[in-house]
Structure 1
């Protein structure tokens, strides 16, 4: 097992592959600029910003996945606003939970009956404080 995000288990085995690629994390700080007459503005640190994580997941029937049902599960988690712990390599990412901000789906290959064979989900998670 590679990790988990709520009920989604990231794994790579002889029977199934459900993992991610292009994993990216960004963090930011919040600053406010105060205008000062005839001088440069004065920056003031307000606090930490909201971290963002993005990655892609490829679902393929050849690797034991039902792409449509896997991507629907992610869509439901997003629409329900679930905040979950993201664990990678046995350790939680960050100190807070995460929610799915966006899910973009690419439906790549179909069989002759219109069943989805390969799909890609691009996720953006945001820190839930």
Structure 2
């Protein structure tokens, strides 16, 4: 097992491939800037900001994954507003849970019966503290 996001297990084996690529994480601090008449502004550190991350998952029916089922599962997680743990390589990421901020679906191949053969989902997650 590569890792997981809630009950979505990232795995690569001879029978099943459900993994991700193009993983990107953004971390920012929160700062307030106080304007001072005729002087430079004063910056004040307020605290950490929410991390966000994005990655793309590819689903291919030839590798034991039903793309439509996987996309529907992610859509349900997003619409329910469920925050989940995110684990990669046996280590949790962030200080708490993560929620799906957005999903961008691309259906790359559909057969003549309307079944999705291959698809991609670009997920953006936000830290839920």
TM-score category of the 2 structures, normalised to the smaller one: over 0.9
Counterpart position of 1:87:
87
Counterpart position of 1:6:
6
Structure 2: tracts of 5 or more residues without a match: none
Counterpart position of 1:112:
112
Distance 2:70 2:62 in 1: 14
Counterpart position of 1:36:
36
Distance 2:92 2:35 in 1: 40
TM-score, normalization: structure 2?
0.98
Please state how far the C-alpha of 1:72 moved relative to its aligned partner: 0.7
Counterpart position of 2:16:
16
TM-score, normalization: structure 1?
0.98
Tell me the alpha carbon deviations over residues 4-54 of structure 1, each in whole angstroms, 9 at most, x when there is no partner.
111100000101100000001110000001010011111110100000110
Distance 1:32 1:64 in 2: 50
Q: In the comparison of the two structures, how many residue pairs are matched?
A: 129
Counterpart position of 1:97:
97
